[in-house]
Amino acid sequence: MDGAQGSDEPLHILRAKYHDYCSAQVADLLVYMSPDEIYLLAHRARREEGSADDISYAEMVRIATEWLSRRVALPPFEVWVEDYRKNPQRYAEYFMGLWESDAEEGEPAS
């Protein structure tokens, strides 16, 4: 796929791919974290929010994901889409496939 082909994609597809790309970046960070690191990160985030309640592991992962997504340096959509349109093949390995269902939901009515 060449750069011109990427530029032909509708905006709702590009937004869905951007969200998929961002999700993949955060997921990659979580994969490399041990359960202990997730525990510590989640509890740190909870303390920052002023809460010290006990939470399940699933809740810890959710909190860690949200915390990371706010702190990971990801490009704004406008910057990302400009680079994607020039080099769509560079991003193919970062998509988890979430963009396909997001694109269907966000598809403009015909």
Inside any domain, residue 65? yes
The answer to whether 45 and 66 have CB atoms below 8 angstroms apart is yes
Inside any domain, residue 96? yes
Domains in the chain, number: 1
Cα(4)–Cα(74) distance, integer angstroms: 24
> Digits of tens for pLDDT over the chain (110 positions)?
343 444 578 899 999 999 999 999 998 889 999 999 999 988 888 888 887 778 888 998 898 888 888 888 999 999 999 999 998 988 888 887 878 876 676 565 44
Inside any domain, residue 3? no
Task: Count CA within 13 A, CB hemisphere, residue 54.
Answer: 0
Q: Which domain holds residue 80?
A: 9-105
Inside any domain, residue 4? no
Inside any domain, residue 49? yes
Q: What is the pLDDT of residue 99?
A: 83
Q: What is the pLDDT of residue 107?
A: 60
Q: What is the pLDDT of residue 1?
A: 38
The answer to whether 49 and 57 have CB atoms below 8 angstroms apart is no
